[in-house]
């Protein structure tokens, strides 16, 4: 120990301060905590009470002025505050960003029908892999495969955890140790963690790049085909566009070439509208049905992009190709659980009827709301924020985007509420106010643009307009 440490004055804890702290059982018995005990369990609340009392004792021992913690009410207040902050880590938010398939916010919200289907199989047992008719082992994706066949006209279908998994599995099962030819203009990166060359590496298939970034012709593929070639892969440039002097080969031409040379053609269409119906207003994105019709042997896509279903990857195509994929040991590692299957089956049933899908699948519903209606909602919200809260709020036209790596240049007309800071209270800047809104219950996630808060209504459920008003009200009242 150094001398100067020894020289420090010793603060003597005030022992009466310790005695003034209430005992654990007295705090637990307080009526203010009854509801929390009911909701979170006695053990959880007990843990928080102990932690608060321990900290109070430690503070007193350090000689900190104990007046802040020396009465029951202060302890109860701390316990209640702590319990309020003890929310689930994964929790609902309102998406006012204007990005419909926001990967950070969980991509597609599920239809009520899908949620109910999940609840039905999740609370008890189900015939996940059991043939109720025969009383023998059954196949887990039999129901969704039948629906996918009907929706796309394909012979067979399989489901895995996501499209990254579908791509890796397809490359592995169909081309491990061999070559797959891909255009240089289609080596996509999606969301930072999905990069096609890396997916190739982990699959064991070899990537054979052809053409240039902006131009790849049929002859480039033709010349690249050799004895090592297992497949031709086309990848939809979901989240970018190559513009200017460009050339790429369509799936029909590619499939024709593949067939004539006895190799497979795989089409990763990405966002995955199945067809024949498409989400309202979406014109540029390919559908699975089109790719199958054009002759692709296998089509890959995500379940939680344009289909508006649960996170999963769909592999749809010729029966013999899907059989080889299902026989791969990696299939077992990537398979989906009963909750995903239930949500997917319910979503596919809705997708069978495009009118019903547009009413029931949230993504489709968001896309089908006329912009005038969004403008009316934004106008009403801005009026209330101006009138009762005195905020500098206006209603503005804006553009929303699909997101999730889909249709990057397809701007969707939308409407926003714009609030110009400062907001009353301690909210001098939009960044501070938007952080507080994100941390509320439920969190509201908006855009901060040119120093103002923008709440885009394209991906906001109409009943949540009121929740946004209340969140802002709570914020400015402090």
Ligand X SMILES: *Cc1c(COP(=O)(O)O)cnc(C)c1O
Binding site for ligand X (CB under 6 A): 162-164, 188, 190, 194, 235-236, 238, 268, 270-271, 302, 313, 405
Q: Cα–chain-centroid distance for residue 115? A: 15
Q: What is the CA radius of gyration of the chain?
A: 29
> Nearest 5°: phi and psi at 66?
-80, 0
Taking the complex as a whole, how short is the minimal distance between the CB of residue 289 and ligand X, in angstroms?
A: 17
Q: At 286, list the tokens.
A: 């390919």
Taking the complex as a whole, how short is the minimal distance between the CB of residue 320 and ligand X, in angstroms?
A: 24
Q: Which is nearer to ligand X, 164 or 336 (CB)?
A: 164
Q: Which is nearer to ligand X, 78 or 203 (CB)?
A: 203
Burial classification of residue 465, based on how many CB atoms lie within 10 Å of its CB (0-12 exposed, 13-18 middle, 19 or more buried): buried
Which sign does the torsion angle of CA 279, 282, 285, 286 carry?
positive
Q: Which is nearer to ligand X, 164 or 266 (CB)?
A: 164
- Alpha-carbon distance of 332 to 312, in angstroms, equals 14
Q: Which is nearer to ligand X, 268 or 297 (CB)?
A: 268
Q: Which is nearer to ligand X, 279 or 405 (CB)?
A: 405
Strand 189-190 with 194-195, pairing? antiparallel
Taking the complex as a whole, how short is the minimal distance between the CB of residue 104 and ligand X, in angstroms?
A: 13
Burial classification of residue 472, based on how many CB atoms lie within 10 Å of its CB (0-12 exposed, 13-18 middle, 19 or more buried): buried
Cα–Cα nearest to 395, from 321, 461, 454: 454
Q: Which is nearer to ligand X, 310 or 421 (CB)?
A: 310
Taking the complex as a whole, how short is the minimal distance between the CB of residue 33 and ligand X, in angstroms?
A: 43
Q: Residue 264 pairs with which residues in a beta bridge?
A: 231
Q: Give 179's contacts (C-beta < 8 A, 6+ positions apart).
A: 205, 206, 207, 208, 226, 228, 229, 230
Taking the complex as a whole, how short is the minimal distance between the CB of residue 476 and ligand X, in angstroms?
A: 38
DSSP string, 97-139: SSBTT-GGGTSSPPPHHHHHHHHHHHSS---TTEETTTTEE--
Taking the complex as a whole, how short is the minimal distance between the CB of residue 456 and ligand X, in angstroms?
A: 22
CA 157 → CA 322, 343, 344, distances in Å?
A: 6, 16, 13
Q: Which is nearer to ligand X, 179 or 267 (CB)?
A: 267
Query: What 8-state DSSP symbol labels residue 215?
Result: B
Q: Whose CB is nearest to ligand X?
A: 270
Say if residues 448 and 416 touch (Cβ distance below 8 Å).
Answer: no
Say if residues 79 and 33 touch (Cβ distance below 8 Å).
Answer: yes
Q: Which is nearer to ligand X, 101 or 154 (CB)?
A: 101
Q: Which is nearer to ligand X, 291 or 381 (CB)?
A: 291
Taking the complex as a whole, how short is the minimal distance between the CB of residue 308 and ligand X, in angstroms?
A: 13
Taking the complex as a whole, how short is the minimal distance between the CB of residue 106 and ligand X, in angstroms?
A: 12
Taking the complex as a whole, how short is the minimal distance between the CB of residue 311 and ligand X, in angstroms?
A: 7
- Alpha-carbon distance of 430 to 454, in angstroms, equals 9
Taking the complex as a whole, how short is the minimal distance between the CB of residue 235 and ligand X, in angstroms?
A: 5
What's the full length of the chain, in residues? 478
CA 2 → CA 6, 71, 392, distances in Å?
A: 7, 38, 60
Burial classification of residue 10, based on how many CB atoms lie within 10 Å of its CB (0-12 exposed, 13-18 middle, 19 or more buried): exposed
Q: Which is nearer to ligand X, 83 or 100 (CB)?
A: 100
Q: Which is nearer to ligand X, 238 or 347 (CB)?
A: 238
Cis peptide before 442 (omega within 30 of 0): yes
Q: Which is nearer to ligand X, 20 or 195 (CB)?
A: 195
């Amino acid at each position: 120990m150094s001398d100067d440490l020894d020289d420090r004055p010793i603060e003597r804890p005030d022992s009466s301060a310790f005695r003034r702290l209430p005992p654990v059982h007295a705090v637990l018995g307080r009526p203010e905590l009854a509801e929390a005990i009911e909701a979170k369990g006695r053990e959880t609340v007990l843990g928080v009470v102990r932690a608060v009392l321990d900290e109070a004792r430690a503070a007193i021992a350090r000689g900190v002025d104990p007046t802040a913690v020396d009465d029951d009410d202060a302890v109860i207040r701390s316990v209640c505050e702590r319990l309020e902050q003890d929310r689930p880590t994964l929790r609902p938010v309102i998406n006012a960003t204007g990005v419909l398939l926001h990967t950070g916010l969980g991509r597609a919200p599920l239809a009520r029908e899908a949620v109910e289907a999940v609840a039905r199989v999740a609370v008890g047992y189900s015939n996940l892999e059991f043939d109720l008719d025969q009383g023998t082992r059954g196949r887990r994706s039999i129901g969704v495969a039948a629906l996918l066949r009907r929706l796309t006209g394909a012979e067979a279908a399989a489901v895995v955890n996501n499209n990254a998994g579908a791509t890796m599995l397809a490359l592995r099962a169909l081309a491990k140790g061999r070559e797959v030819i891909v255009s240089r203009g289609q080596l996509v990166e999606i969301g930072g963690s999905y990069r096609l060359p890396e997916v190739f590496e982990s699959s064991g298939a070899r990537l054979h790049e052809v053409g240039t970034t902006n131009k790849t012709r049929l002859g480039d593929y033709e010349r690249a085909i050799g004895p090592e070639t297992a497949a031709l892969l086309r990848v939809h440039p979901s989240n970018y566009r190559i513009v200017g002097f460009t050339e790429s080969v369509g799936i029909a031409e590619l499939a024709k070439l593949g067939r004539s040379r006895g190799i497979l053609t795989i089409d990763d269409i990405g966002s995955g509208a199945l067809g024949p119906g498409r989400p309202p207003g979406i014109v540029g994105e390919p559908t699975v049905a089109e790719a199958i019709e054009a002759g692709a042997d296998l089509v890959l896509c995500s379940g939680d992009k344009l289909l508006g279903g649960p996170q999963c990857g769909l592999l749809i195509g010729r029966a013999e190709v899907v059989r080889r994929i299902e026989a791969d040991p990696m299939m077992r590692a990537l398979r989906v659980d009963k909750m995903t299957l239930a949500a997917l089956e319910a979503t596919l049933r809705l997708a069978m009827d495009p009118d019903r899908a547009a009413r029931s699948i949230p993504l489709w519903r968001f896309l089908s709301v006329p912009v005038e209606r969004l403008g009316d909602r934004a106008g009403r919200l801005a009026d209330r924020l101006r009138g009762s809260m005195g905020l500098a709020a206006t209603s503005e036209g804006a553009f929303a985007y699909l997101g999730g790596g889909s249709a990057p240049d397809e701007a969707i007309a939308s409407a926003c509420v714009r609030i110009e800071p400062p907001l009353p209270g301690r909210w001098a800047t939009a960044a501070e106010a938007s952080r507080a809104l994100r941390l509320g219950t439920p969190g509201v996630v908006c855009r901060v643009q040119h120093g103002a808060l923008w709440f885009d209504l394209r991906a906001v459920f109409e009943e949540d307009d009121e929740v946004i008003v209340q969140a802002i009200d709570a914020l400015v009242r402090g």
